[in-house]
Amino acid sequence: FKDLNIHITPQKLFKFRSQRVECPNCHRKFQYFCRDCGVDLLSQHCLAQQVPVLRVPDITLPISCTILQSKLENKKQSSIQYLQTLPISNLKIIEFDTEFSQIEPNSLLLMPSPGAVDAEQIDFSKYQNCYFLDCKWSQVQLLMQKSPDLFKCQNVVLNGYQSSFWRPHGRKFEGCLSTVECAYFLSKVAEKKLKGVNVDDMLTYYVNNILLIKKTMHEKGRKVVAYSRKSEQEYENWEEVAKELRGKWDLE
């Protein structure tokens, strides 16, 4: 986290962590955004506190990203909720049922297949878009049967990355990342190759939630904070994380 260049830091967002505001559309209360309506609520927090309005800068990714989310996916557990309200001009989130046929030309597909090419070896100037699948592996297999053209896109894989997602994956292997991490890390590789703009603001809400969980669990005296039927995840000591970031974000 210490190398991230995020404009709205967790230090600023922590001030609102105990408050929830009403979504103007569905009238349910959320912390920073409405995950159901895709409405950013941060400005309402600022107005309620009578402080200057915080706004995530506009983001243009070095390569367009299209996230295909299964309608069967539990949106409350999906990491893309931390992306959907951000002002990203070339990010699309599309729901699919059992098939998807509107394939854009010159596209990549993030997929750890036998023929996948490491992202570091991709010439991103030849591609305009990358697809990401936000669904369970069983749904991926069904999609392969129903939409074979999607899987004819050049498959690309991210190697050497470790997930910080607080919901552990049932299948543990290198490169098993949350969807938001996949979109971010691939954008970082493309950014480096194309010398594009900073994309770290993609992680504004995601990193804030990671650190908020670490801090909250530390305050409760807990270490293991994420469970699934097959695995559990233990977070590193909050005090060590806070010490590392104190000079950057003044976390308490």
pLDDT recorded at residue 26: 93
Q: Please check whether residue 167 lies inside any domain of the structure.
A: yes
For the chain, state the CA radius of gyration: 19
Q: Residue ranges of the chain with pLDDT lower than 50? A: 227-230
Q: What is the CATH number of the domain that holds 131?
A: 3.40.1280
DSSP secondary structure string for all residues of 163-205: ---SS--SS--TT---HHHHHHHHHHHHHHHHT----GGGGHH
pLDDT recorded at residue 229: 46
pLDDT recorded at residue 124: 95
Whole-angstrom Cα distance, residue 250 to residue 231? 33
Q: What is the pLDDT of residues 165-204, one digit of tens each?
A: 776 555 555 557 889 999 999 999 999 877 767 899 999 9
Say which DSSP state 76 is in. T
pLDDT recorded at residue 164: 78
Q: Please check whether residue 35 lies inside any domain of the structure.
A: no
Residue-range definition of the domain harbouring residue 180: 64-200
The number of distinct structural domains making up the chain is: 1
pLDDT recorded at residue 108: 98
The pTM (predicted TM-score) of the whole model is 0.87
